[in-house]
């Protein structure tokens, strides 16, 4: 069943997440069919990563954002499990530390950008500075910024501009960026949080902060909608992935990565005549 990514790509200047589904018809017929499709996607990602690494002129950055329990960790684990760790790095960004707060809001993630030939994965990112910080103004006030910045009513517009310029700069220099928003419903989030509480192997992930953040659900939905509308661009698109069905979400995410890599002009390096003669000479030495 063909996954049409245009159905999930954010393109409108104004977005209301209530109009975007958190669940769509499954792109698999059974659990076995899901596993078969995901295995095929992972195999193709492994081969594409090898070409990306050998080509060495592009990097790919995948950014995951979403509410608590939206499935970011699971998507990264299940979709990326076939990638070679030597050419892939994943980072989870929590609350900024003291050193990070002494720099601009893009600094800590810029240090973790993937080098050419590599795939970088951000579990949360610089987008937290226009999401959680926007929902919780006290967090912004605690940052050591100039007073005129803190009191500027256009601070979010300015940060969106900084992000767009940053991502366009990266694109011009060979980094391809895809941004995944895992769109979960409030009811499904509650169900997953309850599962965390009941599962001894997962209840360590449960936090009262997750429950407290649910009281800001509407604020977060508005912040995400504005953020996605302002920063989904041709060179760094947002995909609003229905996340109530984890299996479906993982298939969509893996398809996004496959099509992103397929859009790159990446091939294994071709050998020139001198290099072929060198290899023939080496072969002779090895077969003596």
Please report the DSSP string for 60-126 in residue order.
EEEEEEESTTSSHHHHHHHHSTTS-GGGEEEEE--S--HHHHTS-TTHHHHTTPPPTT-EEEEES-G
173-207 residue pLDDT tens: 999 999 999 999 999 999 999 998 887 777 666 67
31-54 residue pLDDT tens: 999 999 999 999 999 999 999 999
Please report the DSSP string for 2-34 in residue order.
---GGGTB---SS--GGGS-S----SSSSHHHH
Residue 193: the pLDDT is 92
Q: Are strands 175-183 and 59-66 parallel, antiparallel or unpaired?
A: parallel
- Mean pLDDT (the chain) is 94
Residues 107-113: what's their mean pLDDT? 98
CATH no. for residue 202? 3.40.50.300
Percentage with pLDDT > 90 across the chain: 84
Is pLDDT of 143 > 90? Answer: yes
Residue 72: the pLDDT is 97
Residues 264-274: what's their mean pLDDT? 88
Residue 272: the pLDDT is 81
Is pLDDT of 237 > 90? Answer: yes
Percentage with pLDDT > 70 across the chain: 98
Range of the domain at 175: 5-286
pLDDT band of 1, cuts 50, 70, 90 = low
pLDDT band of 277, cuts 50, 70, 90 = confident
The count of structural domains within the chain is: 1
Instruction: For residue 234, report the phi and psi dihedrals to the nearest 5 degrees.
Output: -60, -35
Model pTM?
0.94
Residue 5: the pLDDT is 96
Is pLDDT of 162 > 70? Answer: yes
Residue 208: the pLDDT is 75
Higher pLDDT residue, 32 or 211?
32
């Amino acid at each position: 069943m063909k996954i049409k990514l245009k159905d999930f790509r954010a393109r409108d200047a104004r977005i209301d997440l209530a109009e975007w589904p958190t669940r769509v018809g499954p792109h698999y017929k059974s659990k076995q069919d899901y596993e078969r499709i995901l295995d095929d996607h992972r195999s193709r990602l492994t081969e594409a990563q090898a070409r990306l690494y050998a080509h060495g002129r592009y990097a790919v950055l995948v950014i995951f954002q979403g509410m608590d329990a939206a499935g970011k960790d699971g998507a990264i684990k299940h979709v990326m499990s076939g990638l070679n760790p030597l050419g892939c790095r994943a980072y989870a960004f929590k609350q900024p530390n003291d050193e990070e707060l002494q720099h601009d809001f893009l600094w800590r993630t810029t240090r973790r950008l993937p080098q050419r030939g590599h795939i970088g994965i951000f579990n949360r990112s610089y987008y937290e500075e226009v999401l959680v910080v926007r929902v919780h103004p006290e967090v912004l006030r605690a940052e050591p910024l100039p007073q005129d910045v803190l009191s500027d009513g256009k601070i979010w517009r300015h940060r969106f501009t900084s992000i767009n310029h940053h991502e366009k700069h990266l694109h011009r220099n060979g980094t391809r960026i895809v941004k995944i928003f895992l769109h979960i419903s409030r009811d499904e989030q509650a169900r997953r949080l309850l599962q965390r509480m009941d599962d001894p192997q997962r209840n360590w992930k449960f936090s009262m902060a997750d429950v407290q953040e649910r009281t800001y659900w509407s604020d977060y939905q508005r912040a995400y909608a504005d953020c996605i509308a302002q920063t989904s661009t041709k060179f760094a698109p947002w995909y609003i992935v229905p996340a109530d069905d984890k299996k479906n979400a993982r298939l969509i995410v893996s398809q996004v990565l496959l099509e992103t890599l397929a859009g790159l002009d990446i091939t294994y390096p071709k050998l020139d005549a001198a290099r072929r003669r060198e290899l023939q000479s080496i072969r002779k030495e090895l077969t003596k």
